[in-house]
Chains A and B, each alone.
Chain A
Amino acid sequence: MIELIDLTFAYSGHPPLFDRFCLRVGKGEAWAIIGPSGCGKSTLLYLLAGLKRPSKGRVLIAGESIHRPRPRTGLILQDHGLLPWATVGQNARLGLAIRRLYGPDGRHAPVDSEVEPQDADRQIDYWLQWLGIEGLRNKYPSQLSRGQRQRTAIARTLVLKPDLLLMDEPFSALDAPIRIELQSVMAGFHRQSQLTSITVTHDIEEAVFMGRKVLVLHDGCNRDTEVVDNDLAGRSDERNSPAFHQRCEDLHRLLERRP
């Protein structure tokens, strides 16, 4: 699904964050990317999202080289990015509205994405309901809790039926109980949909819960990929088990180690 080939990236005036970095993510896999702040994990996500371009090397998604945001990639940010002047319903519709504005041109919207207005309504209803926020349809973001805002942002993304879901610290700003609940919601969604997903986080527990594979990044230049296979992902029943804590411990040690 995703292939990074010899990816090199540096912010101007800074040493490179990635140097000839390679990564392969299979279809339907759930990945977590973890690392200290400034290690380039969000940058990597933005490169995948087509919001930044590599200095050298290529980002291939579904066989296509990425130069701009790709219609079938969904992105969820820590700061939900909702329009403050639009209601939950209008925000959830934003992606579809943008697609309608351009038509199915393959660039701003998938070629096969012609959506009838009543279908759009149905899809929005479905996802608002699925996320438990259908009663908030006419509320503005300022009237919502953080968790409800993040649910709205998730609805806005899922309405577009993405085949790749990128999440940048999606639940970091939430209180612990709500964070754990939303992690379970998204893990459940992954089980159901088998959607390829990548979650960037600095939270080790979140990485172990969200990532079937965990990519560990370090401060400084990332060249070799360090990937931990993690069979505990998505297992709500294992969350308090010794194995889960052991896995967190292992990851912690890996993060501490200087590359």
Chain B
Amino acid sequence: MNKNIHPQSAVLGFLLFLLLWQLISLAVDRPILPSPLKVMPMFVMELPGVLGLHLLASAGRVLAAIGLAVITAAPAGLVLGQMPKLDRLFSPLIAITYPIPKIVLLPVIYVLMGITDISKIILIATIIFFQILVVVRDEAASLKPELILSVRSLCAGRRALFRYVYLPASIPAVLTALRISIGTAIAVLFIAEQSLTTYGLGYYIVVETYQVLRYPEMFTGILAMGLLGVVLYFTVASIEFRVNRHLFVAS
């Protein structure tokens, strides 16, 4: 992420996306791929209604999962990054569990915790947790001892070190991890929302539209899910850009 996306290029990208969609839909010419000319007006009409509720439910779950992951993983990552002994103990465990696709734990979590919003949120949070943990840990470990020493020599206690060193050092790491993991988080959300819920885009797309062959409506759901991903991604990226200004200055 070297640049913020300009509004013009965002519009251009969107128009190209619609054009491509239209072309593919013409080429395929089957009900499963309706034209954007049909879907887009429907999307705009439905968004303030039921579709909007599904979108809000999904967004709520992702945001809750992000919040949960950040408040648990960021401190854990900081501690591991600053305590090499502890890190040596845990890093093999993290190395083994990090690449496991957490979605396979879905049945286990459902049985243990029930098929509730909480269990869905925890599943998504687990995915983001590992991303943040690893990136924050590496960031904290890369803080030079000289930096800590010289700030401590300014009489910084734990509180000041946290405020002026650890916090500003870990926020960019958290944002990077979030940006990277948002795609996976939403994919898992899509799967998790297919079972036993009443609101959520995953439920809307699979149960309420796909299974009853309402393809154009299904596509409004797909668009909403895409919108959720895009908005989250660019929100995180733009905060990241602002926080990391020192990395983007010309030297």
A interface residue numbers (CB < 8 A to B): 46, 49, 51, 68-71, 73-75, 77-87, 94-95, 97-99, 101-102, 107-109, 139-143, 153, 156, 160
Contacts and interface: CB of A to CB of B under 8 A. Distances in A.
> Most chain-A CB neighbours within 10 Å: which of B155, B168, B249?
B155
Contacts of A102: 155, 157, 159-160
B151 interface: yes
A85 B168 contact: yes
Contacts of B9: none
B152 A83 contact: no
A242 to B, nearest CB: 38
A143 B249 contact: yes
A83 B249 contact: no
Interface string B133-174: 000000000001011011111111101100111001100100
B2 interface: no
A69 B147 contact: no
Contacts of B154: 69, 94-95, 98, 156, 160
Interface in B219-251: 243-247, 249-251
B159 A101 contact: yes
Given A98-B156, A108-B156, A143-B251, A75 B150 contact: yes
Given A51-B149, A143-B250, 13 more contacts: A69-B153, A69-B155, A70-B155, A75-B153, A77-B149, A82-B147, A84-B246, A98-B156, A101-B160, A101-B163, A139-B249, A140-B249, A142-B249
Given A140-B246, A142-B249, A143-B249, A83 B147 contact: yes
Contacts of B152: 51, 69
Contact of B168 (A73, A79, A83): A83
Contacts of A68: 155
Interface residues of B, number: 28
Interface of B: 144, 146-147, 149-157, 159-160, 163-165, 168-169, 172, 243-247, 249-251
A99 B160 CA distance: 9
A30 to B, nearest CB: 19
In the A-B complex, the 7 residue pairs with the smallest Cβ-Cβ separation, listed nearest first, are: A81-B150, A75-B153, A140-B246, A79-B146, A95-B154, A108-B155, A98-B160
Contacts of B251: 142-143
A85 B164 CA distance: 10
A150 B156 CA distance: 20
A73 B251 CA distance: 33
Contacts of B160: 98, 101-102, 108
A159 B96 CA distance: 49
A69 B158 CA distance: 13
A151 to B, nearest CB: 15
A87 B245 CA distance: 10
Contact of A94 (B164, B169, B247): B164
Given A83-B165, A98-B160, A101-B163, A71 B150 contact: no
A75 B244 CA distance: 28
Nearest to B250: A143
Nearest to B244: A85
Contacts of A70: 155
A129 to B, nearest CB: 21
Contacts of A156: 154
B166 to A, nearest CB: 11
A142 B146 contact: no
Nearest to A99: B155
A143 B250 CA distance: 7
A94 B151 contact: yes
Contacts of A139: 249
B155 A85 contact: no
Contacts of B155: 68-71, 95, 98-99, 102, 107-109
Contact of B146 (A81, A97, A101, A108): A81
